[in-house]
Amino acid sequence: MAISRQHRHSSWEPAALTRWVTAVLILVAAGTAHSQPRKEVKDGWQLASPREQGLDAELLNELVDKLKSQEKAIRSVVIVRSGKLAFEYYRDGLGPSTLHDMRSATMSVVSTLVGVALQKGLIKSVDQPVADFLPEALGEGVDSRVSAMSLKHILTLTAGFDPDVKQVGRWAFPVDFALRRPLVSDPGRKFDFNPGTAHLAARVVVSATGESVSQFAQKQLFEPLRIERYLWRIDRPGGSELGYSGLQLTTRDMAKLGQLYLQQGSWNGTTLVPAQYVEAATRKQSSGGPPVHWAYGYSWWVAHSSRLPGPYMAGADDGQRIYVNPSLRLVVVVASDSSQARGRSQSQVDVVINDIVLRVLRR
């Protein structure tokens, strides 16, 4: 069982896509008709009304009741348009400062930390061998092909490791075990949504920076974004933060990650992540596969099949989403009860983009 590191700097006060994402944007619609009182939270967001940001109030009114009656798994939704927070919804008992488990969307945060390390010169290139950071990659019992494995192979989940992780506890991924797993394909050839592989990216961050994942994140990413409260599971007592799950943020703060990417890695005039890395991270690097069946970048799902810019998102089949649509200048974040959201259909991207997003946004 994993242990969490708690970080608190303020008082305690979140192609193909899943059906619940459809409900998310339905929920966004709902907020205009039955809006909750807006709380002024000093977290850096500039607020705007839904109408000011082109949200269609009439359509939103039609959708709100359906959301409340049929999509109870959704805990909160935030929508940002043109850099302004235009809408937020919280299930009863929750609020702007409620932390939500990001589940596999954590992987996109770790990828962002790799980008930050590149900006700082702590990592030279995503083409660097993993062995430059993790000497265990050259250890006894490790497949010889691991020596040629690059950081890019880790970020794109094309390392080639055996996906069977049943030999260890659900949350435990010691580096030596993760690297000693047999390879079922050469690095770069096959995509597999593999938590053990994703965890290695976090270990690379630790090695490259000389700090824990949360220490580096706090100073170099969270503080500039004014993210003040979070929890992050560690892989074992005295160990490292998980690289594939376990980070908890508010939905407002999740939206900052999407907005950072929408702004090509820049925040308040400062480059946190190189624009070149953002572009590569959100472009098709592999054809992807289950559980989302979108193309895959650097730990971001990419909704297009070409190499042209298009929507992208963090999250998988566990009810959490950070959805970014550059052409609409739109960021939508959804936090859900994972136990209820898991297993829903993943075939509604056209409904989400065409029937919901484009109709909710006034031209």
Q: Give burial (CB, 10 Å; 0-12/13-18/19+) of 307.
A: exposed
Cα–chain-centroid distance for residue 114?
14
Q: For residue range 94-119, list pLDDT tens digits in order.
A: 899 999 999 999 999 999 999 999 99
Q: What CATH fold (topology level) applies to the domain 99-360? A: Beta-lactamase (3.40.710)
Band of residue 351 on the pLDDT scale cut at 50, 70, 90: very low
Band of residue 357 on the pLDDT scale cut at 50, 70, 90: low
Q: Which residue has the higher pLDDT, 53 or 108?
A: 108
pLDDT of residue 162: 83
**pLDDT above 50: residue 353:** no
For the chain, what are the domain ranges?
A: 99-360
Amino acid occupying residue 292: V
CA distance 60 to 361: 10
Q: For residue range 180-220, list pLDDT tens digits in order.
A: 888 999 999 999 998 889 999 999 999 999 999 999 999 99
Q: Give burial (CB, 10 Å; 0-12/13-18/19+) of 77.
A: buried
- Whether the model clears a pTM of 0.95, i.e. scores above it, the answer is no
To 5 degrees, how large is the angle CA 331–CA 227–CA 234? 105
Between the ranges 106-110, 310-314, 318-322, where is the mean pLDDT highest? 106-110
CA distance 201 to 182: 18
Q: For residue range 69-80, list pLDDT tens digits in order.
A: 655 677 888 889
pLDDT of residue 172: 57
- What mean pLDDT is reported for the chain? 80
How large a percentage of the chain has pLDDT more than 90?
47
**Overall average pLDDT of the 287-316 stretch:** 84
CA distance 283 to 303: 9
